[in-house]
Structure 1
């Protein structure tokens, strides 16, 4: 297995008139699936466009499959499958035409694998793009990216615009397709439910800054909501938020442990695990308080 990093971004900065992507650093290993999570306008698509060589950074270093970007993007992108929510198929062309075209451009095209994906996604080669539903278009774009057998798959909001049922069906159908021992995936979304289902590591981005990055299970294990009766709010560093109802305090904790409970020094009423969505909101709000815009 290739153990070199497939994505390396160090100190990347890109300034626009009303928005700046600031000091973004990311690293993705082979076989890893990373979720890039942030609100709309947080900088997810800008980060991906920089990674794909569609924008040039003002500062910092970007390497894609070991190639410096954007200088050597042709060599790098030959082994990258890219699907974005703003990508469109040619309306009057059939899926067969799109498959033949991609196969003529990329030597790694695997026709047998494409046929397997057609069946798995319940698509038909003679369908024209204009007659595909939004979900079917998303599946077709994913097929065209996957059948090239890329080492890296970059998905920028691939479920954007789908209704909840279509999104659930799409994710259910391609989750097992995505997992490959040597393929890495960067999955951008503002939907934490999608990310939690697919990804094994997560990076939170907000207002152009990476505010947290960790293994998914590490996020889920270290965050808790703790209810405790205290006359005053404690000042332990793990406490990122506190809501009070008289003497009852509900603490949002980043770094929950037995040692934390010992230092808290008060009878605990209840401890609740947090969802990834709750963790995301708490992380972003705490970051904004520490770094006001």
Structure 2
């Protein structure tokens, strides 16, 4: 089966930033979370996938068609939403729905009406008088109702208050599971990614430092607390990303946890007192502080 998107050896150079050596594949029907701090290159990567900019080197394909050459044909199958996209404040949601329907022949009015109810929107209300959360949901409706095969979501929950963010994520999660769509969800908010994604990709300083199935990725990371005195050999432990010592407590964070780790640490003079799973946020911060290697 053709992948929803593929990037091989992609580089893009700007005056003060470089996206470099990007190898990324999103299987059809999967939701991938793209995690990175502001300035990591997430938006540049998505613009390459939209055909808005041309890679300096490498190949970019969406559904087997190369970009930017095939961008006109490919964009019929792409839905894009970003936190900085703007709707016309003086027009109603109904006006926007009719506008999009006139452009995309695949517009599904029955599905749009279902989303209006699901998102609790008022089609006759001018968007200038709605909250930021309602405008985000309106933007998602306009994108989803034309049934794009690939969704590119660039920080869609940025700026939302906790209640609105929860509503958008709940609605988005329900819709994404309702139909089989391929999704690349970009965010610096790891909680959003952890809630929605099937796989995780970490982008740091223009490079991919990890890309893996979410459950497998989370399963191999642990915070391990020990008692003892750490020796020099401990720092060579495979997968070690963080080491803190406050006698007699030693805290390790590892990305290569397995059931034999306690025995290995015992040979180094350390007794394990607790092993805890790590959140995606903790893993990401640990990775970035450790130099961007996961």
For the aligned pair, the TM-score class normalised by the smaller chain equals: over 0.9
Shift of 1:262: 2.4
> What does 1:177-192 correspond to in 2, within 5 Å?
177-180=175-178, 182-192=180-190
* 1:247 counterpart residue number: 248
Give the stretch that moved more between structures: 225-234 or 201-210.
225-234
Residue 277 (structure 1) aligned with residue 281 (structure 2): yes
Give the stretch that moved more between structures: 143-152 or 164-173.
164-173
Structure 1 gaps of 5+ residues are none
Q: Tell me the distance in 2 between the aligned counterparts of 1:197 and 1:23.
A: 28
Q: Tell me the distance in 1 between the aligned counterparts of 2:287 and 2:242.
A: 10
* 1:122 counterpart residue number: 120
> What does 1:1-293 correspond to in 2, within 5 Å?
3-180=1-178, 182-233=180-231, 234=234, 235-265=236-266, 266-288=270-292
CA contact (8 A) 2:228 2:247 kept: no
Determine helix, strand or coil for the equivalent of 1:161: coil
Shift of 1:25: 1.5
Shift of 1:181: 5.0
CA RMSD of aligned residues (A): 1.4
Shift of 1:180: 4.3
Q: Tell me the distance in 1 between the aligned counterparts of 2:214 and 2:55.
A: 28
Shift of 1:259: 2.5
Distance 1:137 1:181, change over 3 A: closer
CA contact (8 A) 1:230 1:249 kept: yes
CA contact (8 A) 1:211 1:284 kept: no
Q: TM-score, normalised by structure 2?
A: 0.94
Q: Tell me the distance in 2 between the aligned counterparts of 1:199 and 1:91.
A: 32
Give the stretch that moved more between structures: 279-288 or 155-164.
279-288
Determine helix, strand or coil for the equivalent of 2:290: helix
Determine helix, strand or coil for the equivalent of 1:25: strand
Determine helix, strand or coil for the equivalent of 2:115: helix
CA contact (8 A) 1:31 1:179 kept: no
Q: How many residues align?
A: 288
CA contact (8 A) 1:7 1:65 kept: yes
Shift of 1:174: 2.2
Shift of 1:104: 1.1
Structure 2 gaps of 5+ residues are none
Q: Tell me the distance in 1 between the aligned counterparts of 2:248 and 2:79.
A: 55
Q: Tell me the distance in 2 between the aligned counterparts of 1:92 and 1:58.
A: 40
Question: 4+ residue stretches of structure 1 with deviation over 6 A?
Answer: none
CA contact (8 A) 2:11 2:20 kept: yes
